[in-house]
Structure 1
Amino acid sequence: MSLHAHNDALMCKVFPSSLDSTALRWFNGLQKGFIHNFAKLIQEFGARFVTCSWVPQPANTLLSIKMRVGETLQSYASRYWELYNEIGGGDEKIAASTFRIGLFEDFELRESLTKRPPDDMRQLMRCIEEYKRLEDDRLQNKGKAPLLSCS
């Protein structure tokens, strides 16, 4: 696009493809004829969304995420990874521990992670994948798959 930076019409047409749903609703709601050039579009966009700047979450926010009743491990893990990535790192042992705390107390994976806490997020991810495979095996073999033993 840098080759076409001086083509206001093209830049205004391409601009919406970079927006999320909230910003796209704003863009689609602009009054016809209100924007005369790309510089004006950028100025209006900045004025509207400057207060929506991303603010990093503190690491202790991970303590607030809990598995919901009826929620799958996949869904809980996805929500957890999304929040973990927003935080942008930190002590991986603590982060892995907060994942465990968010699981139900009688969840087999929680017990395994308590007995053998993962050293980092990769090890936690491997353990989750192993647990999901065992769950699938148990469903296929009517509960006769071996117990989980993360290492």
Structure 2
Amino acid sequence: MCKVFPTSLTGAELELFRNRPHKSILDYETLCAIFLTHYCGNKKQKKSIASLFTIRQKKGETLEDFLSRFNMEASEIADCHLATAIETFKLAMIQGTKFHTSLVKYSPPDMQTLNARAQIYIRLEENMAHRAQHATLIMVENKPQEKVLSSKSRRSQHTSAPAIQIPKKGQRTEERITPLRTTLVRLFQENKMKFAAPQPIRQALEQRDKTKHCVYHRDYGHTTND
């Protein structure tokens, strides 16, 4: 073992072996002790239950992200006492939330039950976030129209008979487009399943700008917003 082991060494580890005094390694146990003593500082220290008391749910952090972070920390603790972990989780949560109130009223017997109950409130959070996002999009779409209607009503108060402008033959009418309050990239990522497959870019490949990429066309030549 002492003769075969050095053949697996390279770099600094090989130099450590070579710099040992002549006949200083009497057996394999001595060889192991030399390396273990030299590299003991690299050993990852086990965490104690005290590390859980430093965790706090951040403002704006979702229950799903916080639960994942807490479980990751708890998994690195040897002999983690379940009752202590549950009480620590309650203290780490943002006080007054629906899930926190549920834990205070009915304390779970173990972390498995806590995680299962948390999934219910995670789905509620996701549903509320989806509704809020949907309501925001509706407000963004309707707000410009409300401005247009209010401006028309103000003009109608000052003019008794507003003149109707009829476009001349061959004259293009200006189309009123609702201004976007977000980027096309974000809209595409949130609704990409609703989009049909795009037509390929017709411009020759050698004429395109390779620094610009479009996630909709999945090709180079222009940015997604363009």
TM-score, length basis structure 1? 0.60
Q: Distance in 1 between matches of 2:10 and 2:39?
A: 14
Whose helix proportion is higher, 1 or 2?
1
Indicate how the Cα distance of structure 1 residues 91 and 135 shifts in structure 2: closer, same or farther if over 3 A, else same: same
Gaps of 5+ in 2: 17-34, 133-226
- Asked if 1:119 corresponds to 2:91, the answer is no
| 1:99-141 Cα distance to aligned partner (Å, 9 max, x none) | 1111111221111111111110100110111111122333456
Q: 1:62–1:95: 8 Å Cα contact kept in structure 2?
A: yes
Indicate how the Cα distance of structure 1 residues 83 and 124 shifts in structure 2: closer, same or farther if over 3 A, else same: same
TM-score, length basis structure 2? 0.42
- 1:76 maps to which of 53, 56, 66: 66
Higher relative contact order (CA 8 A, sep 6+): 1
Shift of 1:90: 2.3
Structure-to-structure mapping, 1:1-151, within 5 angstroms: 38-41=8-11, 43=13, 50-140=40-130
User: RMSD of aligned C-alpha atoms?
Assistant: 2.8
| 1:2-57 Cα distance to aligned partner (Å, 9 max, x none) | xxxx8xxxxxxxxxxxxxxxxxxxxxxxxxxxxx9532358269688531211111
Aligned AA (1:122): Q
Is the partner of 1:118 in helix, strand or coil?
A: coil
Shift of 1:81: 1.0
Indicate how the Cα distance of structure 1 residues 39 and 124 shifts in structure 2: closer, same or farther if over 3 A, else same: same
